[in-house]
Amino acid sequence: MNHQYYNVLGIMSGTSLDGIDIAHVTLVRKEQWSFQIHVAQTIHYPNFIKEKLSNAIGFNDKEIIEFNNQYTSYLAETINTFINTYRIDDLLAVCSHGHTIFHQPQDKLTLQIGNLPKLAKLIKQRVVCDFRIQDVQFNGQGAPLVPIGDRLLFGDYDYCLNLGGFANISYEHSFQRIAYDICPVNVVLNHYALKLGKEYDEGGAFAKAGTIHTTQLKQLNNLDFYSNKPPRSLGMEWVNENIFHILEEIHNPKDALATFTEHVAIQIAEQLDSHKTLLVTGGGAFNTYLIDAIRNHSDVEIIVPEQLLVENKEALIFAFLGVLRLRNENNCLASVTGASKDHSSGFIYVP
């Protein structure tokens, strides 16, 4: 495509189960790429969908197929409501990540539901989606996918850090983009906040009121994954197998939150060189206790941008990934995922 102006939706559903992030954006290609987020919304999941998303990792094949169809229909309803509410027209495409059910790149398996061809028919829009599959087929991790956006839209910062269900980071090194998952974040913190009657630890208040347990902190920091060099990526399978049995030794949820928040801060700080700039986005950017803990362990300049960008950077970048796919330009970087080559990934469906 030879367009230089792109009117698109970007859609993201993260592992922290906050909901579906939808952003209406325009992307413009001149000498450099620029963007504008016009309007964005997080549509929180109804309980029955959220419960199924939480349990789907244990579904059999038939249950997965049925839920994929159900979730795709639900996603279509959500998108149509968003388009109608904000009276959006002349969209070039809807660019959607889907929701990850399992991610096992070592076995060449990854599944993001909500990416069925019927989505295009239900919303009557061109859809670009399923960005991970091709990369896994090329022997890549299929993740992270955001770094191409970090490079081309946020290149003024030394590091880009996303604090969502997992923490992932990207930066330039020797003229290559390097990116990888650092550690779990909100998939664990939200789990313990729920035990205290809240969906998340607002501002890190629960963690701040807790006590760090040094024995469990040391066990967490000594997990083998943290000695792996990039490319590396994480999924809920790893969290269930490696994290919770350590934290279950801590009987007070506030203490578990304090211990794990400190663990996250240490793991993030270990990735950072001194006197650099760090752009922080994702829901964890509002966890001031965590942000202060990162500052305690490093001397980078931490920049938390305006709320619209903090909450919707991933949705913005998936819109960008879709645009790059429509232009047949690379949107997956081998230096990031470990794939055999850079490539343009994503399926394109038309109504």
CATH number for position 224:
3.30.420.40
Q: Say yes or no: 198 and 162 in one domain.
A: yes
3-class secondary-structure state, position 87: coil
Alpha carbon distance, N-terminus to C-terminus of the chain: 19
- Provide the pLDDT for residue 209: 98
* Structural domain includes residue 313: no
Q: Say yes or no: 157 and 38 in one domain.
A: no
Q: Say yes or no: 161 and 115 in one domain.
A: no
Instruction: Write out the two tokens for 16.
Output: 């922290």
Q: Say yes or no: 126 and 206 in one domain.
A: no
- State the pairing for strand pair 93-96/347-349: unpaired
* Structural domain includes residue 314: no
Please list the residues that pair with 11 across neighbouring strands. 22, 96
- Provide the pLDDT for residue 102: 87
- Provide the pLDDT for residue 56: 94
Instruction: Write out the two tokens for 225.
Output: 């994954």
Distance (Å, rounded) from C-alpha 109 to C-alpha 301?
38
Who's near 73: CB < 8 A, 6+ residues apart?
A: 118, 122
> How many separate domains does the chain show?
2
Q: Say yes or no: 152 and 297 in one domain.
A: yes
26-73 tens-digit pLDDT: 999 998 999 999 999 999 999 999 999 999 999 999 999 999 999 999
* Structural domain includes residue 324: no
* Structural domain includes residue 251: yes
* Phi, psi dihedral angles at 16 (to 5 degrees): -75, -5
* Structural domain includes residue 323: no
Please list the residues that pair with 37 across neighbouring strands. 25
- Provide the pLDDT for residue 227: 96
- Provide the pLDDT for residue 2: 60
* Residue recorded with tokens 């102006």: 5
90-141 tens-digit pLDDT: 999 999 999 999 888 888 889 999 999 999 999 999 999 999 999 999 999 8
pTM: 0.89
* Domain range for 214: 147-307
Q: Say yes or no: 131 and 153 in one domain.
A: no
- Provide the pLDDT for residue 74: 98
- State the pairing for strand pair 159-163/166-173: antiparallel
Residue closest to 179 by CA, chosen among 161, 195, 164, 155: 161
* Structural domain includes residue 18: yes
Q: Say yes or no: 71 and 160 in one domain.
A: no
* Structural domain includes residue 321: no
Q: In 1-146, which residue ranges form alpha helices assigned H by DSSP?
A: 47-55, 61-85, 118-123, 133-137
- State the pairing for strand pair 347-349/127-129: antiparallel
Residues in the chain with pLDDT values less than 50: none
- Provide the pLDDT for residue 143: 85
Q: Say yes or no: 250 and 303 in one domain.
A: yes
- Provide the pLDDT for residue 109: 87
Q: Say yes or no: 114 and 60 in one domain.
A: yes
What's the DSSP call for residue 343? B
